[in-house]
């Protein structure tokens, strides 16, 4: 099968998953996966049958929310902006390995109420097939609240979603992957807005220097910076390393490190909670 035929089969499979749903509420973040899902839902069901819900909280950068609103409005679908209240849940703040479960339960519970308001039976999220290989407690919250993952059902990986997004002309096709800022904090370290602001500002600074995919992992006084492996040599450029150290010291870090393994999803799942080391 040709590459075009291969991708066409995925699109057909995704349409077959979405069409029977008739109307959906989309958990929309503005990232690669949820943007493609929102586009596909609009194409399969019609814009009048799609509600995009964008959640805002201290765990998600404001500029990401602004971009999500802009794109959803451009598609002409109904867009709702909500506040999630995971910071009122001690289960979330204590940051156990189940943190994502409590965060997603808060989100999906609010989405279920919005779905009821619109008379919609189905909530969908942008989980992709690759996510099945990672530790994702939030998936359990979705299952409990009946959230469907059409991209998983269609067997679409992140790479395939990027290719299909590019062909569809979506602005997010090459966007760096984004995740909740709480994922930068080791299990066992209490979630704190000040820490979220530190890692968020640090990542914005690195992006401003031209780095693409980046994560700032917070280990008390240490900032562990993950960059795409192809970009690691850039850190040694004249003046760049000093600028990075200076900025991160201003943010409050004593030590600034570059992770030689490079960027990877779920790196906080690789060892025990920091409090247990």
Which domains, from first to last, does the chain contain?
3-167 (3.40.50.620), 181-276 (3.30.300)
pLDDT computed for residue 273 by the predictor: 54
pLDDT computed for residue 276 by the predictor: 40
By annotation, the residues acting in catalysis are 180
pLDDT computed for residue 51 by the predictor: 98
pLDDT computed for residue 113 by the predictor: 97
- Structure tokens that stand for 54 in this block: 């964008």
pLDDT computed for residue 275 by the predictor: 46
262 φ/ψ angles, rounded to the nearest 5 degrees:
80, 180
pLDDT computed for residue 272 by the predictor: 59
- CA 180 – CA 240 distance, rounded (Å): 27
User: Consecutive sets of 10 residues in the chain, 277 residues long: mean pLDDT of each?
Assistant: 61 94 97 96 96 94 89 93 96 96 96 97 96 85 96 95 94 90 95 96 95 95 96 90 97 97 83 50
pLDDT computed for residue 61 by the predictor: 84
Contact 235, 211 (CB under 8 A): no
Output the pTM of the full model: 0.89
């Amino acid at each position: 099968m040709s590459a075009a035929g291969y991708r066409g089969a995925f699109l057909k499979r995704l349409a077959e998953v979405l069409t029977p749903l008739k109307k959906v509420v989309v958990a929309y973040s503005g990232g690669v996966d949820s943007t493609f899902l929102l586009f596909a839902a609009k194409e399969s069901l019609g814009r009048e049958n799609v509600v995009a819900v964008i959640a805002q909280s201290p765990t998600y950068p404001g500029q990401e929310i602004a971009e999500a609103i802009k794109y959803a409005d451009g598609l002409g679908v109904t867009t709702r902006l909500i506040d999630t209240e995971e910071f009122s849940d001690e289960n979330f703040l204590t940051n156990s390995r189940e943190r994502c479960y409590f965060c997603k339960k808060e989100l999906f519970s609010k989405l279920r109420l919005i779905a009821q308001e619109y008379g919609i039976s189905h909530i969908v999220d942008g989980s992709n097939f690759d996510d099945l290989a990672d530790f994702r407690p939030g998936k359990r919250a979705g299952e409990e609240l009946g959230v469907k993952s059409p991209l998983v059902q269609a067997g679409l990986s992140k790479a395939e979603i990027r290719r299909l997004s590019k062909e569809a002309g979506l602005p997010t096709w090459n966007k760096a992957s984004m995740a909740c800022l709480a994922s930068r904090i080791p299990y066992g370290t209490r979630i704190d807005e000040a820490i979220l602001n530190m890692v968020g500002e640090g990542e914005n600074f690195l992006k401003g220097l031209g780095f693409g995919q980046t994560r700032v992992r917070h280990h008390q006084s240490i900032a562990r910076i993950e960059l795409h492996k192809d970009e690691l040599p850039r850190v040694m450029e004249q003046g760049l390393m000093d600028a990075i150290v200076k900025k991160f010291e201003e943010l409050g870090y004593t030590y600034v490190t570059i992770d030689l393994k490079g960027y990877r999803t779920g790196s906080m799942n690789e060892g025990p909670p920091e409090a247990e080391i």
